[in-house]
Amino acid sequence: MKTKNDSLIPLFKTLKATLTEYEKYFSVRKNEVGYYDLWSEKDVEFAGHKRKEIFFAGLIIQKHYVGFYFMPVYSQPEIKKMFGEELLTTLKGKSCFYIKHDDPVILAQIEEALKKGLELYKNKGWV
């Protein structure tokens, strides 16, 4: 598959390696060059609606960045208080982070965010 920006494939692979550690908790729906996502396939209630599943995290290569989509920040906006300043500067919108470079500080903060997100989902009974 040709992506929007093949030069971002190495960054995508680095981020994906971090997310694959969570496959023991979540199901992979799509796993291809340029797109990867993780879902909890459990009955949940979110925003007053019953659902059969809930998104956890994913990656998509966009034109100028790898989008790191992280549902825990959408479902619990206060989780942002736990993020480092470097990661917060990449947050665009409610749950998408624009990752443009292989920055060890940002990657470490993403790893920490994933741990916190898993803890949040466990506490809510979503995993």
pTM for the whole structure: 0.91
Query: What is the C-alpha separation between 4 and 2, in angstroms, rounded?
Result: 7
CATH class of 6-124: alpha beta
Mean per-residue pLDDT of the chain: 92
Give residue limits of the domains in the chain: 6-124
Residue 104 has pLDDT above 80, yes or no: yes
- Hey, what amino acid is at 39? W
* pLDDT tens track for 9-67: 999 999 999 999 999 999 999 999 899 999 999 888 887 889 899 999 999 999 999 99
Q: Mean pLDDT throughout 76-105?
A: 91
**Which CA distances in Å does 38 have to 19, 41, 61, 89?**
8, 10, 16, 24
> Can you tell me the distance from the alpha carbon of 2 to that of 89, in angstroms, rounded to the nearest whole number?
29
Beta-strand ranges (E) seen in 1-111 are 27-32, 35-40, 44-46, 49-51, 54-61, 66-70, 91-92, 96-99
Which positions ≥6 away from 45 have C-beta within 8 Å?
A: 51
Strand 96-99 to 91-92 pairing:
antiparallel
CA distance 82 to 27: 26
Tell me the average pLDDT across 116-121: 94
Give pLDDT, residue 2. 56
How many whole angstroms separate alpha carbon 64 and alpha carbon 47? 32
